[in-house]
């Protein structure tokens, strides 16, 4: 559940979930996610195990919720929205992913830590929904494949580019990769003079 989804929650529920998410953030600064137990989380948050399981099925659900909430919050703070046509929004989303991964993972390339798949899926889900919502504003849709497929491709491509960037030991400024990635994706999100009936051909 993201911050936007939780606006109507009871303040006590939001406070408890925030305590657990902040506990996870602090613990991730000290150890890998696989090494963190529910007991660690409840002790760090000064809550009991029953309270934890009243809000999350397991630590993986907590990680996904925390990641999605914080990443979406980062985009909202920057005023990032995507209407399906604006290349500057794709740039902002990609830079947001780069910044989030760099802050959340430290330097995995030098520390030899893998990217957590649950964090990955949470970020991709947020970007996929944002992309699809934006693409639905294009009427009529002129793309050769469905909006859903384009949103999927865009979300994985943006995350993949950011992941490749954060894992490099010779990391350049993130701004240097943005134009290339956005240039590749723009024809997908803003197809011009194409027909839905035209097949995609690969030569």
pLDDT at 198: 47
pLDDT at 81: 79
Q: Taking Cα atoms as reference points, which of 80, 43, 38 lies closest to residue 59?
A: 38
Tens-digit pLDDT string for the chain (203 aa): 444 455 566 888 899 999 999 999 899 888 888 899 999 999 999 999 999 999 999 999 999 888 888 888 888 888 887 877 677 889 999 999 998 888 876 655 445 556 778 888 889 999 999 899 989 988 888 888 999 999 999 999 999 999 999 888 888 888 888 989 999 998 888 887 544 444 444 44
pLDDT at 155: 96
Which structure tokens are listed for 54? 């009243």
pLDDT at 21: 94
Which structure tokens are listed for 179? 């134009």
Whole-structure pTM value: 0.76
Q: Is the peptide bond before 70 cis (omega within 30 degrees of 0)?
A: no
Q: Which residue blocks in 47-190 are alpha helix, DSSP H?
A: 49-55, 59-77, 87-105, 108-111, 117-135, 147-167, 175-189
Which structure tokens are listed for 66? 């925390």
Question: 89: helix, coil or strand?
Answer: helix
Between CA 143 and CA 192 the distance in angstroms is: 8
Which structure tokens are listed for 189? 């999100």
pLDDT at 113: 59
pLDDT at 106: 62
Q: Where in the chain is the domain with CATH 1.10.10.60?
A: 11-58
pLDDT at 49: 95
Task: Report residue 68: phi and psi, to 5°.
Answer: -60, -45
pLDDT at 200: 43
CATH architecture of 11-58: Orthogonal Bundle (1.10)
pLDDT at 151: 94
């Amino acid at each position: 559940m993201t911050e936007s989804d939780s606006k109507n929650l009871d303040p006590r529920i939001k406070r408890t979930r925030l305590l657990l998410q902040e506990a996870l953030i602090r613990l991730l600064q000290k150890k890998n996610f696989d090494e963190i137990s529910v007991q660690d989380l409840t002790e760090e948050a000064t809550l009991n195990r029953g309270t934890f399981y009243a809000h999350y099925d397991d630590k993986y659900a907590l990680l996904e919720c925390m990641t999605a909430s914080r990443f979406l919050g980062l985009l909202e703070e920057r005023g990032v929205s995507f209407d399906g046509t604006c290349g500057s929004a794709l740039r902002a989303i990609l830079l947001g992913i780069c910044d989030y991964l760099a802050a959340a993972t430290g330097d995995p390339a030098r520390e030899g830590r893998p990217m957590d798949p649950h964090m990955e899926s949470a970020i991709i889900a947020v970007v996929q929904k944002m992309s699809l919502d934006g693409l639905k504003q294009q009427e009529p849709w002129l793309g050769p494949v469905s909006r859903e497929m384009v949103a999927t491709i865009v979300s994985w491509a943006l995350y993949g580019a950011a992941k490749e960037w954060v894992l490099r030991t010779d990391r350049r400024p993130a701004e240097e990769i943005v134009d290339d990635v956005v240039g590749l994706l723009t024809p997908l999100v803003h197809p011009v003079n194409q027909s839905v009936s035209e097949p995609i051909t690969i030569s």
